[in-house]
A and B are shown apart, each in its own frame.
Chain A
Amino acid sequence: MEQSFDLPDSTDWLDTPLSLLAPLESSLRCQVCKDFFDTPVITSCSHTFCSLCIRRCLSTEGKCPTCRSGDQELKLRRNWLVQEILEAFKNARKSALTLARKEAARIAAGGDEDPEPAPKKRKVSQVDHSEAPEVNPHSPQRVRTRSRSQMAQSQADGQDRNQASSVQEVIEDSQDEDFVPDDGMVACPICNRRMKNEAVFAHLDKCTGNTGSAPKPAPAKQKSFGSLQPHARQTPISPSKAPERLPAINYSLLKDNQLRRKFRDLGIPDWGPRQLLQRRHIEWMNLWNANCDSTSPRTKKELLRELDIWERTQGGIATAQSSLVPTNTVMAKDFDAAQWSVSHDNDFKRLIANARKKSDAQVRSTIPGAAQAAESNSTAVDSSAQLASGVEKGTPIEINSDPPGPSDMSG
């Protein structure tokens, strides 16, 4: 139940004073998956979608979902600007939404009047107001977003930031090149340390230029604007570093065996009837090529996991909720071998013990007088039995890689 409502959505803005942000947020969402664009690409007809979403659409229909004009995967181009806008929006979203909701709650509680008395903080009223959420009766959970809202405020209004931080943090403002604190002191021209006027010349004689405790401008400044910088100028990885795209296969030219060999070369599951193989390959191609578009490509292992989810929801193991049927658990792709061997440890041990007893008895009965030999051999048997059980535990995958019976293959 909760899951659906934790989902960030453009309607989150509707009940706040910032309701006009709802259309902005919807336009940053892919119309196919309704989520924020993941690696946005633009079609020849100038519509933007997630790379993976449009690839899936084009591979099933060959048409743009918005205007239905025909298009090809090869013509898709990345849309960096949308990605940058989106990153910036995502960064600001949480704090802006928190502020907007707080404001909505405040308005609901009593119009424009301040909900709590904060006489000491009057001087910098608006800013400090948002920074004192622990007194706010409407939002106990807001406390942890405090620094964020502070950040948002400072991003939203540079003037206010300077004012507010001059109260809290003198260091930061002294970084400002034009800024001269009104403390009746002067700065050493070499080390920047502040001192009384008459002490400067004496100090200059022994000044090493070491800035010592004096604040260093660059890093502090970096910090205060940190959230604005890295995302705006994140440059895409060079195409040479990107993994190579997968070409389409003309399935009709390949025999089953050739196709399966190709799958093994690609490292994807090669079981199932031909139609499933084709569908799986298309999905893999979409996943792979969309990943090539991404600024932060995922590893092949992660992509294989995605393919596995596809297999369970739409592919060969997608018979309606059949993964819950106990008889099928060993066949399921998400079968956890390690856990299985732990929970069935006793059974394995019992089987090993039985096997050992039997072999001991056999040795005794078939070779007269070999009891002692059997005794001494038992350690060897023991270790080999363990080896066998180890193999058993380690490779239930063997069962997995067997193609399931035809009844399991819906499609």
Chain B
Amino acid sequence: MASSVAQKRLFHEYKNLSTNPPEGITAGPVSEDDMFYWEALIEGPGGTPFEGGVFAAELKFPKDYPLSPPTMKFVGGGVWHPNVYPNGTVCISILHPPGDDPNHYEHASERWSPIQSVEKILISVMSMLAEPNDESPANVEAAKMWRERRAEYEQKVRDEVRKGLGL
């Protein structure tokens, strides 16, 4: 069967990520029958409360990828973070299409464009873990805690990480 533009491009990204993976990141389609559904593993960045953790996420790609961005959601236990919804969905500017910016806080240059890639998304998410953006929090509780009670926030994140590792 002839494959679509999106499938070809996803194959390219997959190959690129498997031959030359960025540090702390693994990603690929769950099954090669469906290139539009990926799983990714991200290591918690060093020097942050997330250090030592491994976070699994699923990526869903639209049919008109790369014109539209994928969605990303952490699976298996929530990630306590101002920019991650309690259900795991990641809220980060690179995943937002340039057209809609209801909050008017993101620069167009930070948002999705067809030249972005899975690799760039995952790297952005990694740095988001290290440096939350509390201007438009997805998890208000976490944002509040991060702003007002930093020590408690960090402890909670460390506990979550330890729980995630089964310790």
Q: A4-B14, A7-B15, A11-B19 are in contact. Are A34 and B63 (CB under 8 A)?
A: no
Count of chain A residues with Cβ under 8 Å from any Cβ of B?
Answer: 31
> Of B44-52, B109-117, B124-132, which stretch is located at the interface?
B109-117
**Residue B145 at the chain A interface, CB threshold 8 Å:** no
Q: A61-B99, A309-B2, A313-B4 are in contact. Are A34 and B114 (CB under 8 A)?
A: no
Using A10-B16, A57-B67, A65-B113 as known contacts, list a sample of 11 further A-B pairs with CB atoms less than 8 Å apart, ordered by residue number in A.
A4-B11, A32-B114, A35-B8, A35-B12, A53-B114, A60-B67, A65-B115, A66-B115, A309-B2, A313-B5, A314-B6
Contact, CB under 8 Å: A31 / B19: no
**Interface residues, chain A, with chain B CB atoms under 8 Å away:** 1, 3-5, 7, 9-12, 14, 31-35, 53, 56-57, 60-61, 63, 65-66, 68, 305, 309-310, 312-314, 318
Minimum distance in angstroms from B20 CB to a CB of chain A:
5
Sample 28 A-B pairs with CB under 8 A, ordered by A number: A1-B32, A3-B11, A3-B32, A4-B11, A4-B32, A9-B15, A9-B16, A11-B16, A14-B19, A33-B9, A33-B12, A34-B117, A53-B114, A56-B5, A56-B67, A61-B67, A65-B114, A65-B115, A305-B2, A309-B2, A310-B4, A313-B4, A313-B5, A313-B6, A313-B7, A314-B6, A314-B63, A318-B63
Q: Which residues of B contact A65 (CB under 8 A)?
A: 113-115
Q: Which residues of A contact B98 (CB under 8 A)?
A: 61, 63, 68
Q: Which residues of B contact A32 (CB under 8 A)?
A: 9, 66, 114-115
Minimum distance in angstroms from A322 CB to a CB of chain B:
12
**Residue B39 at the chain A interface, CB threshold 8 Å:** no
Q: A4-B32, A9-B16, A32-B115 are in contact. Are A309 and B4 (CB under 8 A)?
A: yes
Minimum distance in angstroms from B65 CB to a CB of chain A:
10
Count of chain B residues with Cβ under 8 Å from any Cβ of A?
Answer: 28
Q: Which residues of B contact A68 (CB under 8 A)?
A: 98, 108-109, 113
Q: How many A-B residue pairs have CB under 8 A?
A: 77
Choice from B8, B11, B16, B115 contacting A31 with Cβ under 8 Å: B115
**Residue B13 at the chain A interface, CB threshold 8 Å:** yes
Minimum distance in angstroms from B78 CB to a CB of chain A:
28
Minimum distance in angstroms from B95 CB to a CB of chain A:
16
> How many angstroms between the C-alpha atoms of A44 and B20 in the bound complex?
33
> How many angstroms between the C-alpha atoms of A78 and B7 in the bound complex?
26
Closest to A9 in B: B15
Minimum distance in angstroms from A282 CB to a CB of chain B:
12
Closest to B97 in A: A61
Q: Which residues of B contact A12 (CB under 8 A)?
A: 19
> How many angstroms between the C-alpha atoms of A53 and B2 in the bound complex?
18
Choice from A56, A66, A314 contacting B113 with Cβ under 8 Å: A66
Minimum distance in angstroms from B21 CB to a CB of chain A:
10
> How many angstroms between the C-alpha atoms of A31 and B16 in the bound complex?
13
